[in-house]
A and B are shown apart, each in its own frame.
Chain A
Amino acid sequence: MHEMAMAQGVMEIVESYAKKSNATKVRTIALLIGEMTGVVFESLEFCFKATAKGTIAENAEMKLKSIPLIGHCNDCGNESHIENYNFFCPQCGSAKVDIISGRELRVEYLEVD
């Protein structure tokens, strides 16, 4: 249940940015969550509701944007979705494929009053 720890991480970020922009209420919290992360969005939402009770972000809506797992081949330059967690390049067979997206656990933006 590490979603609780993540909810607390979201809360810290939300409070700090809400304060910076002199907000009185946080309406929306937009998250970017990569495909290759161990997060259950519903659990995170549930944990955040509990964490946000009595704060500026109580009743804020969480918006989720899923980020696909994309690899970049350092040998042939191919960029494509990683299928079935097979990190060999589908074009040239190289083993030198880096993850360029899909590991995000990020607060993208807030909507505040």
Chain B
Amino acid sequence: MEVQVMQDILGSNDKLAAENKKIFDEYGIFVLNLIGSPGAGKTSLLEKTIGSLKNHLRLAVIEGDLFTSKDADRIADHDVPVIQINTSGGCHLDAMMVKKVLSKLDLQNLDLVIIENVGNLVCPAEFNIGEDTKAVVLSITEGDDKPLKYPLIFKEASAVVLNKIDILPFTNFDMENARHDINCLHPGISIIETSCRTDNGLDQWCSWLRAAAYEKNERMKKNNG
């Protein structure tokens, strides 16, 4: 006997992600899911971002990591609330993991939550966790061929940070090609070149994030009365 199903395999994760998002929406909090390969510079970018934004926005960080709290320890040094999720070998965060730590956040007193996903360009792209948007960090040393090799995350994200541009002259990274491929994949996406060592481009990145957070904070204030 044939039984028609037509159900999404990740349907239960999507449902939980929508529930998480609803909670963030109620409090008017903008949530960024920050994704990139191991070593792309996600935590360094986050440290710089916190330094620049913490006097303007009330922010907290959720750190996804396989086993350690190394990244969370780095963030905690910047005096912002940070929550560690260890996936015990899991290659991505999922909506249930985020749901479980929501009660640890002081939701009433936050404008922005940045969730640093597990270092990986493949799996996190498929799992929504309740974010408003995704940003992907790609570092120069990874090569300009990566957008077409990992297209989904570049399609899902609304900003790409091309990090470590200070070492561009020492590599074969073709910036024009990278920008072309990313723009073909996702016309109109924000592409921001940064270096966390020289601070190049960080203003542009922080402005992008601040504007996105501000837009939601204000919209939700109106909607939630």
Contacts and interface: CB of A to CB of B under 8 A. Distances in A.
Interface of A: 1-2, 5-6, 9-10, 12-13, 17-18, 20-21, 23, 31, 36-39, 84-88, 95, 97, 105-113
B12 interface: yes
Interface in B141-161: 148, 151-152, 155
B5 A17 contact: yes
A19 B91 CA distance: 31
Interface size class of B (residues with CB under 8 A): 20 to 34
A86 B148 CA distance: 10
Given A2-B92, A9-B10, A87-B184, A38 B125 contact: yes
B91 A2 contact: yes
A71 to B, nearest CB: 11
Nearest to A89: B187
B8 A108 contact: no
A38 B5 contact: no
Contacts, number: 97
Contacts of A113: 1
Given A2-B122, A2-B123, A37-B126, A106 B3 contact: no
B169 interface: no
5 contacts: A2-B127, A20-B3, A105-B126, A106-B8, A107-B5
B188 to A, nearest CB: 6
B124 to A, nearest CB: 8
Contacts of B13: 5, 9
B3 A110 contact: yes
B144 to A, nearest CB: 14
A6 B9 contact: yes
Contacts of B155: 36, 85, 87
Interface of B: 1-13, 90-92, 94, 122-123, 125-127, 148, 151-152, 155, 181, 184-188
Nearest to A32: B6
Contact of B5 (A87, A105, A108): A108
Contacts of A108: 4-6
B142 to A, nearest CB: 17
A12 B1 contact: no
Contact of B185 (A5, A9, A87): A87
Contacts of B6: 106-109
B3 A112 contact: yes
A109 B3 contact: yes
A41 to B, nearest CB: 12
Nearest first, the 8 A-B pairs at minimum CB distance are: A95-B187, A2-B123, A9-B9, A86-B184, A105-B9, A107-B5, A110-B3, A85-B151
Of A2, A10, A12, A95, most buried by chain B (CB within 10 Å of CB) is A2
Contacts of A88: 184, 187
Nearest to A99: B155
Nearest to B123: A2
A8 to B, nearest CB: 9
A95 B182 CA distance: 13
